[in-house]
Structure 1
Amino acid sequence: MSTNFYDRLSADFSGILESGIDYNVIIEVGEAPSNQRFKTHSLILQSRSSYFEIKLNETMLNDDNIKIIYLPEISVENFEIIIKYIYSGNISIEKTDTSSIFDILLASNKFGLDELIKYFQSYLIENNASWLRLNFSKIHQISTQENNFKLLREFCNYIIPKSPNTLFESRDFTTLSEKVLISILERDDLQMDESEIWDHIIRWGKGQHPNFPTNLNDWSDDDFLILKNTLHQCIPLIRYFSISGEDIFKKLLPYQQLFERQLWADILSKNLTSVSFKLLPPRKYKTTKFSPRNKISIDSVIITEEHALEIGSWIDKKDSPYINENPYDFQLIFRGSTDGFECINFYDNCDGISQTILVLKVKNTGEILGGYNSLVWDKYAEPYFKNDDAFIFSLKTEKQHESILSRAISGLYTIYNYNDRVGFCEDLCLHNNFNTGNSCCCSKSGYEKCIRNSTEYFSVEECEVFKVIKKKSVGQN
């Protein structure tokens, strides 16, 4: 039988650090004049950190028989957290901002502190996913460069195909390395219109040359040649025959000088049966073909075209439903009977996607309930978030003569983002397996009114989610 007394051991070693008794290593951290010296002990440093083991062997003793290590690139506050961990095994980051936590992760990697590397990756993903998305280019690039950042790399690889805007629209996108950018462009599963990808590639290329004239009309032939050389490995990776003729002339024609003559000729004649340049096939973009504008074709076993017209009018905040022409296409991205009724099945199909309509049919009653979320579903985000544009509804059926619309109350939490539940807070909540066990509910929380008379829990007969896509030009009623 063995008994561990780690708390006392941790406290005693913390005392050694604080007192500095018998120190033989000074670590000077930060830049003057705010730099600070920490009195430490080589035996502890070497046993806890592979970096310090090597560094101490390389560092000579000074006249006082002390070794001095300089770390100007690390802040005093961040190093204090790390050195306390090295001595005691404890960390405290309650008052530390997210940017500093990421810097501590980088420092932990520098010092070879495997335990902290894994901990801080998990912490950032579980608690600060929104910050990771905002700095996505930087995070993605670092995660691909550092072998130890497996969890961040998996986080990025999960998000990129479903929500490439997270990468392309991040504030540091133009700092992305060419190698990483090419690895993204080579993917077949980017869920983004090809003309938008082209826009971002041009923006990245211009970002490498900030002195280019702002107005394209002021560009010289040399400017175009420089950009062409910058993008020479990216240009062949665009799927040109997926770009509409309108966008070819609107977006590509102004940059005609970037293309080799034969490639440009093939782009212009992309609808012909034969082209010379080797064009890549379209990406596996999840899309649904729709009928002509005066007809609405919906791949649904729950809602009708009439329902879609009514939902479209609610999105646009119209006083009366659209009659003939719906300004939105409804692209099916999830169906419970084919994809599964667990919350994990929902996130497998809907995570990272915005502008969605969720509809469901209540088992045994035939009620059709649903909701609209204009923001991104994000299983890595906070469990609750606010969306003042969201609304929930109960659609008219044979038993219910009028639909019920209930809009979000401004400032209240209105969306669930849990691993085991999803929906519109308690006002329309799907929990665990929503096909069995009566685990779903409707009550009043963050919306104007209830959408069903009963507050009893229920199961779902069928559930569907649609990506709502604004049509480019549709006359509205």
Structure 2
Amino acid sequence: MTTQFYDRLSNDLNFLKVVPYFKKKFDEITFNENHVKVLKLPNISVKIFNVIIKYIYSGKFSLEKLENSDTFDLLIASNEFELDELVEHLQSHLVNDNSSWLRLKFAQIYRTSYQVKNFKIIRDFCNNIITKYPNTIFESENFHSLPEDALISILKQDDLQLEEGKIWEYVIEWGKAKNPTLPTNLDKWTSDNFLSLKKTLKGCLPHIRYFSFSNEDVVEKIYPYQQLLEQQLFLDITIKLITPNKPISSIILPPRKILNTTLPTRIAPIPLSSNIITNEHALEISSWIDKKEIPYIENNPYKFELLVRGSRDGFDIKTIYNICDKVSKTIIILKVEGTDEILGGYNPLEWENNKNQSKRTKDSFIFSLKTANMKDSILSTSQGGYVHSYPRKLELSFGNALRLIGNLKTEKRCCCMKSEEYPKPIRSDSSTFSVEEYEVFKIISNK
């Protein structure tokens, strides 16, 4: 769908913004030996640049053929050209319509939102997630590379759902990562070592709620790092520990609003976000994952987190690789065009977006689910079979037993063939087929 939402005056202003941008860039470049100035924009692809050019001249743009990663690249490029209206629109589009992709790439998106100051809508979206689920960022492999202003923003949140002693540990860990030469053993630290860490954490320390620490955490977590604190603050922390009612001069920040929730005695069903399968189907698939002979009938031990949907994200195989890169434990669900068959496969291993490769696993399987036209589901387990990641060939497959190729909706190249790796056929018809809809879920334990 093509979007148009700007008048002629707005188009002219956007055109003028781009003209000064290029003039400035060309002014910074010297002529080469052929007396030509060559401007390179390595971070902006031809595809993205064409979208921007069309937008500048017509006020129109289309996101139909763009993957979510392309849309995010378009957002960054739009900000580079100072196209403020487009920046705001794209942020809203990603937050409202593609939040699952933002969560999947959370650490990268959050870090970028602070590197690019105009991404307030996305930044607020991320902060809201972090306050409720702080481990999303604190336990991320990219936590140590988090910008200082991003960490400070998190520390300012009154409703951050994390005990203060744990927050302190994460802040210390972040600071140490910025000073890799610090001794591993704290007993060997010098005053200069503490001073280096104190300088690194200068912007973070004022936002710690020191008077919300438990007495045990004060002794075990603050005392070893007392040299990081101003003398009066450390004295007041000690006074409060010994004589809680005695007045102090340090500012006391309010305790964080930690929600106290009572867990139900019975596991409540988690809504299944699918346009193809039912909760009964999900229970059956979960039983196969756990290799249960008797299917689960309630209390699914797994959550099915929707990552990709064809009608929402696009039907090209590349879409799956882009969104599911380095994601393990995924289920692919297919609704076959014209037959209402529901096929699928489970991959316990990670998909690879950057290279073609095959991985052998005994825990993968493929299936055909029970429908109105099919009496019973069919499960075909792996006999040491392969899961093939072929992003460069626009193909992913489970041996030859289930092959997904190209554009799943328009090209009609998918097929199910005889395979020793997955010996039980899930489809009697070996002809190629297209897909009416597909979904990819991340399988997450509820424990």
Larger C-alpha radius of gyration, 1 or 2? 1
TM normalised by structure 2 equals 0.50
TM normalised by structure 1 equals 0.47
